[in-house]
Structure 1
Amino acid sequence: MNSARIEVDLGPRSYPIVIGSGLLATLGKTLRAHGLRQTDAFVITNPQVGGLYFESVRAALEAADFRRMVRHEIPTSEEGKNWDEFSGTCAALLAAFPDTGSVPLVILLGGGVVGDLGGFAAGVFRRGVPFVQIPTTLLAAVDSSVGGKVAVNFGGVKNIMGIFNQPRLVVCDLELLRTLDPREVRSGTSEVIKYGAVCSASLFDQLEGEDLEKLLAREPAVLTDIVAQCVALKARVVEQDEFDKKGIRNVLNFGHTIGHALELSAEYALTHGEAIAIGMIAATRLAVKLGVCAPAFLERLQPLIERAGLPISFADQPGLFDRVVRAMQMDKKFRDGKNVFVLPTTVGAWQQVENVDWALVHEAVRSVFH
């Protein structure tokens, strides 16, 4: 399988995710085929990705009669996903399109940072202009480009300022992953393992075979297959709980409660995927301690994370534990002072556990420091 198309069925906000290779060259035609009639485009990207792919995007848009294309760059790293950069992006949108009659199509060419910040800016500029996601990292392809959660970090809390804003289309050109740094490929694999661990036993089995290494090597057929599986899993979850009100979307947070806190507290020494890998280990140890899952699950998960070249622990440093616990207490899932954890039960299944004894949570966090 070298191409796939997955629909996210959200009634009037429905959209497709198109997955394949060489899709950038026909981007303009694809946009027109999906009813996007704008003639102005505002492309949000970062310096590295923009340097590699902006000209291809520009040429494809020109061929489809786009008249004006504005390029706006934000920093590559998670540290750049902040209020100042968001404000600067909104200012750039207004400067480029001051006339209320001109509604640009916002194109997000990059990884999760570009997608999160750019989707938020598109959602608030003129109370919302259409946007298209073009993920350029494995992590964005399998996870963050789908589902409409867009946000920035603020006040030391990850993704605390944001909205729900669905794209009109996601164009996932797997050719763009060829230029990814190997560390970023490994980072994206963390989210793939997450999907297998709590959503799909068959995907987990597939990764335990030889396909994890084939994914890391970016073998086209395996890459297409696994990205399509992850996107389909996420699409089904989002369709049931678009606005994260029913608790169904919480499954996507396996490893994220502790992982996000560690990512922030370690001041981004870890990539998102690396922090989530450690978070999955901590959450699973907590699940074993609570009797929610058998030790055999951890005995399968840990070797898979290690095979992906991802960490299972992080070097301790003064004050780190306290910073992680403080950051966790700001978690958006926590309600009425009660903590909430997504814990695995068996491979491919999960349950939500509330009000876990903080002493056990602290023990799980300490267990991943060395």
Structure 2
Amino acid sequence: MSPESPEFTTVPVSLGERSYDILIGPGLIARAGEEIARRLKGARAAIVTDENVAGHYLDALMESLKSAGIAATPVIVAPGEKSKGFATLEIVTNAVLAARLERGDAVIALGGGVIGDLAGFVAGIVRRGMNFIQMPTSLLAQVDSSVGGKTGINTAYGKNLVGVFHQPQLVLADTDALDTLSPREFRAGYAEVAKYGLIDQPEFFAWLEANWKQVFAGGSERIDAIAISCRAKAAVVARDERENGDRALLNLGHTFGHALETATGYDSSRLVHGEAVSIGMALAHRFSAHMNLASPDDAARVEAHLKAVGLPVSISGIPGSLPPAEKLMDYIAQDKKVARGALTFILTQGIGQAFIAKDVPFSAVLGFLQGK
């Protein structure tokens, strides 16, 4: 069966000699060995995964790799955002070195966004760069974090502040894996799907408003939504690999969202990344209306859809206490979207009309947050 098989969809990411394919469809974990062996002849691998994902898919992946002649060493870490830090980075790095893997071998990320970011960072720094394979098992990772080469870990100062750009050689998005997600995790991933419509595809957002129940139920609408999202991200990455220009649009909702994740100490029982993005997108649209850039009706429409699928849209929806607005501004000021001290936000002039707003007044954001 060729990569053009009707059993899965292929989305190319065009980056010259660093180009790669995203394969989307059912059964890709079982055929991973064949797909990897075709691209990395003679390679060995480390499989970085977490305890939850390992219970579902590690044995099947190990068997697939073995049948393709790929020797693999599993490296299993604790699930959750707290594994995305220096301590776990050291553990995984040492495990890859202990396995005596070489630069031409591969690090495989089997899991959600945390695993992809962590394993990709390891692949980017061990031996100054190893081959990297993304096998995202969450919706959020399949439509966003597995594509584009951003890797990294969190620190006490903020989310994703230490990392490297390191493109994968291949992304295998097995849609069967989404059936084992909790409803909460699937909803969280859906926030990133909605984001692509809100950036510059208003017709896609309208389609999601009409078809989100089918996307949640599975089937062709789900695969369509994932493929559209991946094509949208692949097109932006091809134009702006290292976020020097319009790739920053992909951060819609993330500046507010990252600050909220930092404020909760990356405690996934309180807030997971997609939920933070959902609140962040609602805040970005509300702030845009507050600044008279967009209609309040658009902000209301965004919030209505996110609420309909069960996502939070306000800071008050986060369990537990949060620091005051002034402290949230400290976290925002540490964000990677800050340049030479000036605040940069992704704001909007309406549904599907996001833009990069530079030199946003600190006082305007603070006043907005104080009113929340």
| TM-score class normalised by the smaller sequence | over 0.9
Aligned residue for 2:37?
32
- Give TM-score scaled by structure 1 length: 0.94
Structure 1 residue matching 2:31: 3-state secondary structure: helix
Pairing 1:253–2:251 present: yes
Structure 2 residue matching 1:165: 3-state secondary structure: coil
- Does the Cα contact within 8 Å between 2:131 and 2:169 map onto a contact in 1? yes
Residue 367 of structure 1: CA displacement?
4.6
> 1:88 & 1:49 partners in 2: Cα distance?
18
- Does the Cα contact within 8 Å between 2:113 and 2:141 map onto a contact in 1? yes
Structure 1 residue matching 2:120: 3-state secondary structure: helix
Does 7-16 or 312-321 show the bigger shift?
Answer: 312-321
Q: Any gaps of 5 or more consecutive residues in structure 1?
A: none
- Does the Cα contact within 8 Å between 1:262 and 1:324 map onto a contact in 2? yes
Structure 2 residue matching 1:302: 3-state secondary structure: helix
Pairing 1:55–2:53 present: no
> 1:57 & 1:320 partners in 2: Cα distance?
46
> 1:81 & 1:206 partners in 2: Cα distance?
34
Residue 2 of structure 1: CA displacement?
6.2
Aligned residue for 2:14?
9
Pairing 1:192–2:193 present: yes
Residue 32 of structure 1: CA displacement?
2.4
Aligned residue for 2:212?
212
Aligned residue for 2:238?
239
- Does the Cα contact within 8 Å between 1:286 and 1:360 map onto a contact in 2? no
Cα deviation code 1:289-341 (max 9, x no counterpart)? 22221122112101001011011123373634333111101011111211011
> 1:253 & 1:19 partners in 2: Cα distance?
23
- Does the Cα contact within 8 Å between 2:157 and 2:334 map onto a contact in 1? no
Cα deviation code 1:190-244 (max 9, x no counterpart)? 11111111121111011111x1112222x12011000000000000000110011
Structure 2 residue matching 1:150: 3-state secondary structure: coil
Pairing 1:284–2:285 present: yes
Superposed CA RMSD in Å reads 1.6
> 1:9 & 1:234 partners in 2: Cα distance?
11
- Give TM-score scaled by structure 2 length: 0.93
Structure 2 counterpart of 1:330, from 308, 330, 334: 334
Residue 91 of structure 1: CA displacement?
0.7
> 1:83 & 1:304 partners in 2: Cα distance?
37
Does 155-164 or 252-261 show the bigger shift?
Answer: 155-164
> 1:290 & 1:304 partners in 2: Cα distance?
22
Amino acid at match of 2:145: S
Aligned residue for 2:345?
341
Aligned residue for 1:171?
172
What percent identity do the matched residue pairs reach?
36
Q: How does 1:1-370 map to 2 (within 5 A)?
A: 3-33=8-38, 35-66=39-70, 68-97=71-100, 103-209=104-210, 211-217=211-217, 219-245=218-244, 247-267=245-265, 268=267, 269-315=270-316, 317=321, 319-368=323-372
Structure 1 residue matching 2:159: 3-state secondary structure: strand
